[in-house]
Structure 1
Amino acid sequence: MDNQDSQVLDIESVPAVADAPAKPAHRPRDFWPGLALCSAVGLAVLALGSAVPSLSPMLVAILAGIVLRNVVPIHSVLEPGIAYAAKRVLRWGVVLLGLQVSIPTIIGLGPGVLVIVTCAVAITFCSTLAMGRLLKMDRDMYTLIAAGFSICGAAAVAGMQGTIRASEEKVAAAVALVVLYGTLMIPATAGLSALLGFGPGDAGTLIGASTHEVAQVVAAAGIAGGGPLLAVAVTVKLARVSLMAPVVAGISLIRNRGTAQVPGQRRPAILPLFVAGFIAMILVASTGLVPAPVLGGIKLVQQFLLATAMFALGLGVHVKSLMKLGARPVLLGLFATVVIMAVVFACIFLGLGANI
């Protein structure tokens, strides 16, 4: 990677990142130009998504960022704000995502769907780690891919990055792969559901349990029929999202086990603070005390934050840099996608899909 790419993808210069080396602190006003650009695009893609419901705002945002980064030069004055949006804004979006996940709703899916969700995440995550080792890939790279493809796309990549401290180049690559394969799964899952004659329960289970991003699930379920099917797909997907915290905590314990403490350096927390916030929001949502209109407003804010962050992450994707990664990450993403779909199909054919 050349120096220019390294500078763009190094988001650790944002203040208050634990264990980051000391760097000149940016003044608050340094963040506003880039943050304003990302926020404007975030608002624009949300408006576009409202006008054209079949479009995923998150997908449009990250694709717009990728195109912009690789077509026109980005002024250096924008970089601090872009970096802030790609890390801090993304984490706030993940925290608020927890308010969409209710423990009673997840339990209401029934034991069969809970088995599907658990198997899909566990088998995909572990097999992707194993395949990454077989391919002799960088450990951080295949761990990020395993998290993103098995749990919930970019949000899971962000959660895992907070634990393993992977470089922003690897984070951007993992997110780009999630976008690539998740986009391909939108027509694939909708088409397969129709081809196999799945009812709303099985179709919603297939889409929610196998598609990578929440926004991609909504898009696929809308194409497949919407209505009850969409409700099942989103609920199943959010059940997968709820597994982010235990997976991140488990990887943190494994990574830190037997690791000698470096004098003067803090060991990463078992759960990054924003993942703990995500869990807290699940507990808040589970109380049922938050009025529906308030939840609806918060959901709009959460979508805006994620759309803003997705555009910033897209701006961190350099095509030249990704090409230098080689074919192995692309193959690993394909492997993870095939595995999760195979697991979900097997469980549905065993009669474990949602019955509606």
Structure 2
Amino acid sequence: MPSNFSVPKLLPGLAAAAGAVVVCLALHRLLPGIPVLTAAVVLGLLAGNLPGTAAAVAGSWKPGLTLAAKKFLRLGIVLLGLKVSLLDIAGLGWLSIVLIVLLVGFSFGVTYLVCRAFRLPGEEPVLIASGFSICGVSAIGAVAAARRLRPEQTAVPVAMVTMFGTFAIGVLPLLSALLGLPAEVFGFLSGAAVHDVGQVVATAQTAGTAALALAVVVKLVRVLMLAPVSALAGLHHRRRSGSEGKLPPLVPLFVAGFLGAVVLRTLGFLPADALSAAATVQDLLFAAALFGLGTSVNVRRLVRSGGPAAAASLVSWTIIVGASLALALLLVPVS
């Protein structure tokens, strides 16, 4: 470990991240409508931009927050694999699986094109497309690693997937009530159109256990696309970079760990208590990572550049919701 990241230098930032996670959990307990991950991003934004804490974020907290934003996110992605059972996915049937995978490809393509049409800079189009089509912040982290991007380059995409994933928790149940959707159709829609797994659960559970069960399995098909999409992102980066210099691995090590966790869950080696504990640790790691990422965002710069990103994200998400609803009505039997 480099001297800049020795344990004593890491402790202040890690302590700040841990304190932020405690605050977010307490806030979520008091106000369940506020997701923990959303609260973590907002708290990070405040910490990184308010005069009282901004100096600490840029100074003594920086090594620990950088570690949290990068390494904790990757560890959380590995643990995310323990939620994916290939047996559960197989229960959907091959036609549903193929169409969901095609929906992921469509969502990625349309989001990328919309972001390019809005002239979003740099890697933002591919990162937002990854987050919207697969699994939110996890996909952004995997693709960013495959393309060797710095954490601050992911700030706007993370803000967009967090904002619209939270937006979905309130909007999709209202849309369902307006259209009179059956519970299973709403569950499929939630699993196909909402970003992070936690946001899918928060959205789908409003329609009952049947909707929640289907939503989670549909979502897991999308999560499984994390590995091939990050590999394609890495391959594109290699070709664009040429043969000069040290290239990143085609599949980052933590994505391989994610695949290993998927196999472990599918084989059924771990007891339910261990899976529940892993899910809790994953949530804590993601919250700490998003707090760290939030502190790296310059709010003034985000306000200046975030308008086009928000507009592009709204257009993309609306198209994805429409396509997901059409697929749900096609595939889910309505009694």
The equivalent position to 2:166 in structure 1, one of 183, 192, 213, is 183
Alpha-carbon distance between aligned partners in 1 of 2:120 and 2:35, rounded to the nearest angstrom: 31
The equivalent position to 2:258 in structure 1, one of 272, 278, 282, is 278
**Aligned position for 1:196:** 179
Gaps (5+ residues) in structure 1? 1-14, 17-23
**Aligned position for 2:202:** 219
Superposition deviation, residue 36 in structure 1: 1.3
SS in 1 for 2:269: coil
**Aligned position for 2:279:** 299
Superposition deviation, residue 236 in structure 1: 1.6
**Higher normalized helix content (fraction of residues):** 2
Q: Which amino acid aligns with 2:234?
A: S
Instruction: Identify which range, 185-194 or 44-53, moves more after superposition.
Output: 44-53
CA 156–258 in structure 1, closer or farther in 2 if over 3 Å, else same: closer
Gaps (5+ residues) in structure 2? none
The equivalent position to 1:154 in structure 2, one of 129, 137, 159, is 137
Aligned counterparts, 1:92-241, within 5 A: 92-222=75-205, 224-241=206-223
CA 341–260 in structure 1, closer or farther in 2 if over 3 Å, else same: same
Alpha-carbon distance between aligned partners in 2 of 1:40 and 1:232, rounded to the nearest angstrom: 35
TM-score of the superposition, structure 2-length normalised?
Answer: 0.91
On the 8 A contact 1:70/1:318 being kept in 2, the answer is yes
**Aligned position for 1:79:** 62
Superposition deviation, residue 243 in structure 1: 0.6
Superposition deviation, residue 50 in structure 1: 5.2
CA 258–329 in structure 1, closer or farther in 2 if over 3 Å, else same: closer
Superposition deviation, residue 48 in structure 1: 4.7
Query: In the TM superposition, what whole-angstrom CA distance separates every residue of 1:89-128 from its partner, at most 9, and x where no partner exists?
Result: 1110111010011111111123454244213210011122
On the 8 A contact 2:4/2:63 being kept in 1, the answer is no
Q: Which amino acid aligns with 1:68?
A: A
CA 48–135 in structure 1, closer or farther in 2 if over 3 Å, else same: closer
On the 8 A contact 2:70/2:151 being kept in 1, the answer is no
- For the pair 1:249 / 2:228, whether they are aligned, the reply is no
Superposition deviation, residue 47 in structure 1: 4.9
CA RMSD of aligned residues (A): 2.1
Superposition deviation, residue 144 in structure 1: 0.7
**Aligned position for 2:305:** 325
Instruction: Identify which range, 156-165 or 108-117, moves more after superposition.
Output: 108-117
- For the pair 1:42 / 2:24, whether they are aligned, the reply is no
The equivalent position to 1:89 in structure 2, one of 56, 59, 72, is 72
CA 25–68 in structure 1, closer or farther in 2 if over 3 Å, else same: closer
- For the pair 1:64 / 2:58, whether they are aligned, the reply is no
CA 118–355 in structure 1, closer or farther in 2 if over 3 Å, else same: farther
TM-score of the superposition, structure 1-length normalised?
Answer: 0.86
**Aligned position for 1:335:** 315
CA 237–354 in structure 1, closer or farther in 2 if over 3 Å, else same: farther
SS in 2 for 1:325: helix
Query: In the TM superposition, what whole-angstrom CA distance separates every residue of 1:251-287 from its partner, at most 9, and x where no partner exists?
Result: 222232364222xx31111111111111110011010
Q: Percent identity?
A: 35
